[in-house]
Amino acid sequence: MSRHTADVVIVGGGLIGVWTAFFLARRKQRVVLIEKGVVGAQSSGTNFGNLRLQGRFPGQYPLSLRSQALWEEIEALIGEDCEFAQTGHLYLAYDDEERAKLEGYAQVSESHGLTIERLGPSDLRKRWPWLSEQAVAATFSARDATANPRLVTPAVARAARALGVTIIENACVTDVERSSGGFSVKTADGAHWSSSALVNAAGAWAVAIAERFGETAPIIPAGPPQFVTEPFPYLVEPSIQSVDGSVIFRQIPRGNIILAGYPRTAADPVNHRAPVPPAKTLAAMRALARVAPILAQCHVIRVWSGIEGYLPDMIPVIGPSLTMPGLFHAFGFCGHGFQIGPGVGLCLSEMIVEGATSTPLEPFSIGRFRESVAVSEKFRKEFDGA
Amino acid sequence: MAEIVVVGAGPAGINATERLCAHGHRVVLVDEGRQAGGQGYRRPSPGLDLDMAALMGTEAGKYEALHARFARLLPLIDYRPQTLVWAVEDNMLHVVQAGVASTLRFDVLVLATGAMDKVAPFPGWTLPGVFTLGGAQVALKDQGCLIGRRVAFLGSSPLLALAAAQYRKLGCEIVAIADTTPFASKLAALPALAQSPRTLWRGLSYLAGAMLAGVPVLHGVTPVEVVGDGHVEALILRDRRGRERHFSCDAIALGYGLKPETQLAELAGATLRFDEAFRLWLPQCDADGRAAPGLYLAGDGAAIGGADAAEASGGLVAMAVLADLGESVDERARLELRRRLARLRGFQKGLAKAFTWPVAQIRALPDEVMLCRCEEVRIGEVRQAMAQQLGPVEINRVKAMTRCGMGRCQGRVCGPALQEIVAGAAGVAGEQAGRLRAQAPVKPIALCVAGEAP
């Protein structure tokens, strides 16, 4: 049995884990990141790749904006191209109720200093003449962006490794416990790590670690079904989303159109499978053809999904454990962790090394699950039990 | 009455359907093609006056018999041509027919999905004028067209000589039949090939015919390059002595044998295992074609065996279905079919040794060779992605990082070569590279097939 020590052990090699490792290493910490599979294989690598600032949970804006600033300099930060592109994001409303929802989102965004453009049907026709004419209103945020989720996590992991982080792939954590002055983490291959701080970034598998220290959260594993078409002449510049969530789509420079849509689909965290039911593929195809009839003849060539952790109030757990000093949680990102990933990593590194972060993270405390939590309307809409 | 659906109307699917009908079952026969017959027994387009008897040669009798049987079967079955099965989920097939998506429920699923060409890339293989060997035969049988006037046949397959013979009959000049497997390997495989003397003799007679006609027949070649300005103008090879040979031609038919179409079987719950002889992931079934409860595989889609084996395995699968439904079957006939099928598939194992997948040649290909045509990924990009820190070593991760195998064909074309490139770069045996997982849709489907949003 090999024994090692570190300042911080991070469990989980998704986007959250690798960014946390990166910022801790920049703060001169000795960091070990343990991943049961390979880095970025689950929701971090299989999501839509959207860096949307509009329409987020209001309490998340300080974190979200801090994170976007990191995304905007990602290549300088990590020294690799992750296909980051500031394409903007267009939200579409199809009736008065949706128009009101968009207006609400826009006002929240503006209160945090974002520039939101409001568009009517005639503006839409001028700028995107190929959109169906059914939309009654839209908002556009030019600062919203996209990146390639397949590339980001391994690239950040490489940057972290270059800063001295030890990254261990294909190592399953078998035991986590308190030890004198901190934590002791064992992996299936018999390795044994001692550290003064522990970051629980284990995604859909994180609750098992929280429960070792007397805390829990009602996490639900689910998959975000994603679809991609054959390449098509370049047409769609921004990310475009129906505000009811039925479809979101973007076109990559190669010409393929990536699309996704609710409802989300069941995932199996035991066998690591998140199959996409064919009915959902058809529903996403219908939804895209409704928004962009010009794409009706475009073929879907591939579908995929991954395993994400969801919580009933549709906001993640981020911050210190309330039962165990030195333990920090960051999991349950409910399908919107990609945009805030870098910011979460930065805030966690500040908490661990400096003892506090200036970004308000109280709404994300694990403590909220001590009482029964209100189920968000968003949660009801995004799951259909299938 | 059990709902029985058979997918694929080649010799395996037709024979299975016929037997099940004879026992009073109602069968839905779904087929992607416009006309029944599959690939080998493909009928020409209606109105096309092709002398199929001449084209089919020794197999003309079987060809006519199969189509006559199908004509008699037609009134008894629910036949759905030009129907793509794009997904399987639980007891439901998802199909697209006449541009509309719908579902088809089944209790028993017989997959007779056939096979496609196995191709190995090499410099210039993406130039217009390079066809798969199967594609060259489809152009001929379906449309009465030749892929060129002066055609080179390259790869490693007994079908090279067969297709060349068919092309020669229609007046095409055959500039070369070039096989990457050395002649010594063919001699070594003779004992296995002697299991099916008739087929062996047919193969040898095609080759002899080509040689008598003065066609250069080469063994143990290394493909060097296809050259041409926007279209094939010549094929350059290194012969077994290492001399560079230049064959002027306007088209190339490229084939390294066949590869089962296993995607639906995988989606329906079959287990796949890496087969060292074929160097492919093949679905596992028992001797009668049972792959999972209610799932039966027949024909080249289960294991490459050729038309006769497909027909035998279709019969066996039908008997397995009947037995599993509690009906009695003729045990003597079943044993005879099992023996016949084992012999024919054993012959194919011999062929896999006589006509090998050129592992070393593929692994040695230069970086600039295009590996994935759909996504335009070169071999070097795969090697580079794998060589970097925390680079992928498993084939699905390689796909995720490089987009190789992610395009329109979903790795059906580049998959076998990608398997070797990944295994070579990772320094592992082929099997350890992992398997490109099948995903629905198994073939592209247009948005409009889904219909209108509510």
Which chain B residue has its CA at the smallest distance from A169's CA? B390
CB contacts of B447 in chain A (<8 Å) are 229, 285-286, 288-289, 295-300
- Residue B447: which of A45, A228, A288 has the nearest Cβ? A288
Contact assessment for residue A195 and residue A24, using Cβ atoms and an 8 Å cutoff: no
A33 Cβ partners below 8 Å, 6+ apart? A9, A10, A12, A13, A17, A18, A21, A39, A157, A160, A165, A166, A167, A168
Q: Which residues of B179-200 are buried (b: 16+ CB within 10 A; e: fewer)?
A: bbbeeebbeebeebbebbeebb
Contact A38 B390 (CB under 8 A): yes
* Two structure tokens written together for A248: 């979101």
Contact A299 B447 (CB under 8 A): yes
Q: How far is CA A9 from CA A62, A188, A321, in A?
A: 27, 16, 15
Judge whether A347 is closer than 8 Å to chain B, CB to CB. no
Coil/strand/helix, residue B116: strand
- Residue B89: which of A154, A277, A298 has the nearest Cβ? A277
> Cα distance from B397 to chain A (closest Cα, Å)?
8
Order of strands across the sheet that contains A265-266 = A265-266, A220-223, A308-310
Give the Cα separation of A145 and A74 in Å (integer). 12
Contact B441 A281 (CB under 8 A): yes
The domains spanning A2-49+150-217+312-374 and A87-144+221-310 adopt the same CATH topology: no
Coil/strand/helix, residue A141: strand
Look at residue A384 in the predicted model and tell me its pLDDT: 61
Contact A296 B446 (CB under 8 A): yes
Give the Cα separation of B48 and B58 in Å (integer). 22
Coil/strand/helix, residue B320: helix
DSSP-derived letter for residue A383 is B
Give the Cα separation of B291 and B322 in Å (integer). 15
> Pairing state of beta strands B173-179 and B150-155?
parallel
Instruction: Give per-residue pLDDT as tens, B21-57.
Output: 999 999 999 999 999 999 999 999 988 888 888 888 8
Coil/strand/helix, residue A228: strand
Give the Cα separation of B199 and B202 in Å (integer). 5
Write down the pTM of the prediction. 0.94
> Cα distance from B436 to chain A (closest Cα, Å)?
13
CB contacts of B446 in chain A (<8 Å) are 296-300
Judge whether A148 is closer than 8 Å to chain B, CB to CB. no
Contact A154 B390 (CB under 8 A): yes
Q: What are phi and psi of A11, to 5 degrees?
A: -100, 115
Look at residue A180 in the predicted model and tell me its pLDDT: 84
Judge whether B76 is closer than 8 Å to chain A, CB to CB. no
DSSP code per residue over B147-216: S-SEEEEEES-THHHHHHHHHHHTT-EEEEEEESS-HHHHHHTHHHHTTSHHHHHHHHHHHHHHHHTT--
Q: What are phi and psi of B4, to 5 degrees?
A: -110, 125
Contact assessment for residue B414 and residue B371, using Cβ atoms and an 8 Å cutoff: yes
Instruction: Give per-residue pLDDT as tens, B263-275.
Output: 999 999 999 999 9
Which chain A residue has its CA at the smallest distance from B408's CA? A301
Sign of CA dihedral A129, A134, A137, A139: negative
Contact A302 B410 (CB under 8 A): yes
> Cα distance from B426 to chain A (closest Cα, Å)?
15
CB contacts of A38 in chain B (<8 Å) are 390, 392, 394, 397
CB contacts of B86 in chain A (<8 Å) are 278
Domain boundaries, chain A: 2-49+150-217+312-374, 87-144+221-310
Give the Cα separation of A363 and A370 in Å (integer). 14
Neighbours of B415 (CB within 10 A): 21
Average pLDDT over residues B371-387: 97
Judge whether A286 is closer than 8 Å to chain B, CB to CB. yes
Contact A45 B400 (CB under 8 A): yes
Which chain B residue has its CA at the smallest distance from A298's CA? B446
Q: What angle do CA B307, B42, B178 make, to 5 degrees?
A: 70
Q: Which residues of B227-244 are buried (b: 16+ CB within 10 A; e: fewer)?
A: ebeeebebbbbeeeeeee
Judge whether A157 is closer than 8 Å to chain B, CB to CB. yes
Look at residue A386 in the predicted model and tell me its pLDDT: 41
> Cα distance from B11 to chain A (closest Cα, Å)?
29
- pLDDT in single tens digits along all 386 residues of chain A: 688 999 999 999 999 999 999 999 999 999 999 999 999 998 899 999 999 999 999 999 999 999 999 999 999 999 999 999 999 999 999 999 999 999 999 999 999 999 999 999 999 999 999 999 899 999 999 999 999 999 999 999 999 999 999 999 999 999 999 988 899 999 999 999 999 999 999 998 899 999 999 999 999 999 889 999 999 999 999 999 999 999 999 999 999 999 998 878 888 888 888 889 999 999 999 999 999 999 999 999 999 998 899 999 999 999 999 999 999 999 999 989 999 999 999 999 999 999 999 999 999 999 999 887 778 877 777 776 44
* Two structure tokens written together for B146: 């030749």
Contact B440 A281 (CB under 8 A): yes
Give the Cα separation of A148 and B158 in Å (integer). 45
- Residue B87: which of A278, A287, A288 has the nearest Cβ? A278
- Residue B407: which of A277, A283, A301 has the nearest Cβ? A301
> Cα distance from A277 to chain B (closest Cα, Å)?
7
Contact A161 B389 (CB under 8 A): yes
H or E, element range at A70: helix A61-71
Give the Cα separation of A382 and A280 in Å (integer). 13
Give the Cα separation of B34 and B42 in Å (integer). 10
Please tell me the number of Cα atoms within 13 Å of A125 on its side-chain side.
Answer: 6
> Pairing state of beta strands A327-331 and A317-320?
antiparallel
Closest CA to A364 of A327, A323, A320: A320
Sign of CA dihedral A196, A197, A202, A205: positive
> Cα distance from B153 to chain A (closest Cα, Å)?
31
Instruction: Give per-residue pLDDT as tens, B270-314.
Output: 999 999 989 999 999 999 999 999 999 999 999 999 999 999 999
Homologous superfamily (CATH) of A87-144+221-310 is D-Amino Acid Oxidase, subunit A, domain 2 (3.30.9.10)
**Which of B86, B100, B390 is the best residue to mutate to test the A interface, defined by the most A CB atoms within 10 Å of its own CB?**
B390
Judge whether A299 is closer than 8 Å to chain B, CB to CB. yes
Domain spanning A2-49+150-217+312-374: which CATH class is it, in words? alpha beta
Look at residue B323 in the predicted model and tell me its pLDDT: 98
